[in-house]
Amino acid sequence: MTLNYVLVVTGPVYGTQAARSAYQFALALLAQGHQLSRIFFYQEGVQNGSALTVPASDEFDLVAAWQQLSITHSIELQTCVAAALRRGVVGKQEAAQNMLSADNLATGFEQAGLGGLAEAMLTADRIIQF
């Protein structure tokens, strides 16, 4: 039986194991033939969408891994816009609206409100939070 999953990532890109565990879980469920339609990054998890994250050369690049996962499996990567703005993760539209000189939302990520998460929850068989 194939299930449709949505992941909610609240752990930061580095500093805890939460986001990396979410990534590994995503790989495992896709390998089992399940669907993953959306990954919603909330609270500290929005840091996973920063284009300014530069891990050391011997560390796993989790932002790049999320981007590749999205491309390979057509998975939406959404950051909560309110949580992201509070933490300095800003998309092009939000930078323009707030008259900021730059944006730093990583390619492949989009900013959305909690309505995006609510919509995904209505169609998912399982919602898993990390």
Break the chain into its structural domains and give their ranges. 4-129
Q: Please give the pLDDT value at position 55.
A: 94
119, with CB counted inside 10 A (0-12, 13-18, 19+), is: middle
Could you list the active site residues?
A: 80
Q: Please give the pLDDT value at position 68.
A: 98
Chunked mean pLDDT (size 10), the chain, 130 residues = 96 96 98 97 98 95 98 98 97 96 97 93 96
Model pLDDT for residues 65-89, shown as the tens digit of each residue: 999 999 999 999 999 999 999 999 9
Question: Could you tell me which CATH number the domain at 4-129 has?
Answer: 3.40.1260.10
Sign of CA dihedral 58, 63, 64, 68: positive
Query: Model-level pTM greater than 0.85?
Result: yes
Q: Please give the pLDDT value at position 2.
A: 94
